[in-house]
Amino acid sequence: MESWLNELTVQLCFSPNTISAYGRDLLDFKNFLAMHNGEEPSLGILRNLKISDFRSWFSHRVSRGLTARSNVRALSAMKSFFNHLARRDLIDLKTINSVRRPKLSVLLPKPISEDVIMRFLDLKYFFDQDPNWVTRRDRALYTLLYCTGLRINEALNIKTNDLDREIRILGKGKKDRIAVLLPLALDRIHDYISACPHDLYGGFLFVGIRGKRLHASYVDNRLQKLRLLHNLPNHASAHAFRHSFATHLIQHGADLRSVQELLGHESVSSTQIYVDVDDYSLLKVYQKTHPLAKRSR
């Protein structure tokens, strides 16, 4: 297990979140096998696994409330681990390769509407008890997320000294891409920097009250509270700004390949889902506004 996790980290450059999730999935499988067979797993047990053993594991996970999406990731983790063993001639892949991927319903990303985002970004304050510089910080961060489509951790990892019209971003899988900052985003960031009581140069751009780097959980926790205060949709989160960025670009005519590059997606199929969102929105408008839609069957 340690050798495999090290391979994911050093050679394959998986993200820390993926490595953590894969590690949990393998540990879950190990614990299940111990319960299922009444003994600690060994290479001998792994070599003799049947498809039914994997199905039992998936059923056990579902009974604990885990979703099909979680099982898809867990199977991916198992295949990665078994391939690691196979490359060392410790096991064959016949059984694991015969395990079918759990059926997964396609969940369309939920963007925030343009008018709601524009109104939100121009609020005089988000929390009335916040110091002025915190309001400017949050406005700069939300504007940055919406105008670049950055993942929240990508935004929070920006160093002040790297700030420019174009910023090199280290994304998932340690892949580089360029994020272009619109003038409004740059203006709001500089407005925040000028008001911030902490020395930001040489360190992270977005900091908390004590001058330490902000964490994604803190940002989403604040947004969760802001939903009620400012009538935001229930799905409003830091990642929803990324969904909104991509969806609104496509709705205004951006081509799929350009949006793929801006988002840092390795495959265009990952970006295609935003076209599906646009098609779904168009269908809802059609069904709501066409004269025949108002007539009963």
Catalytic residue of the set 136, 137, 139, 151: 151
- The SS3 call for residue 18 is helix
Do residues 244 and 260 lie in contact, with contact meaning Cβ atoms separated by under 8 Å?
no
Neighbours of 25 (CB within 10 A): 21
Annotated catalytic residue, options 139, 242, 243, 248: 242
CA 288 – CA 283 distance, rounded (Å): 8
Please provide the size of the chain in residues.
297
Mapped onto helix, strand or coil, the DSSP state of residue 180 is strand
Q: 3-state class of 96 per DSSP?
A: helix
Q: Is 280 known to be catalytic?
A: no
**Is residue 137 a contact partner of residue 130, using CB atoms and an 8 Å limit?**
no
Marked catalytic residue, from 22, 146, 192, 274 = 274
C-alpha torsion sign, points 63, 67, 68, 73: negative
Q: Inter-axis angle of helices 16-37 and 51-63, to 10 degrees? A: 110
Per the CB < 8 A criterion, the answer to whether 122 and 128 are in contact is no
CA atoms 187, 192, 194, 200: torsion sign? negative
Kindly give, in sequence order, each residue whose CB lies less than 8 Å from that of residue 177, ignoring residues fewer than 6 positions away: 168, 169, 171, 261, 262, 264
Q: Indicate the DSSP class of residue 168.
A: E
Contact 146/121 with Cβ under 8 angstroms? yes
Q: Is 143 helix (H, G, I), strand (E, B) or coil?
A: helix
274 in active site: yes
242 flagged as catalytic: yes
End-to-end C-alpha distance for the chain, whole angstroms: 60
Is residue 174 part of the annotated active site? The answer reads no
Catalytic residue among 172, 215, 227, 230: 172
Give catalytic residue positions. Answer: 151, 172, 239, 242, 265, 274
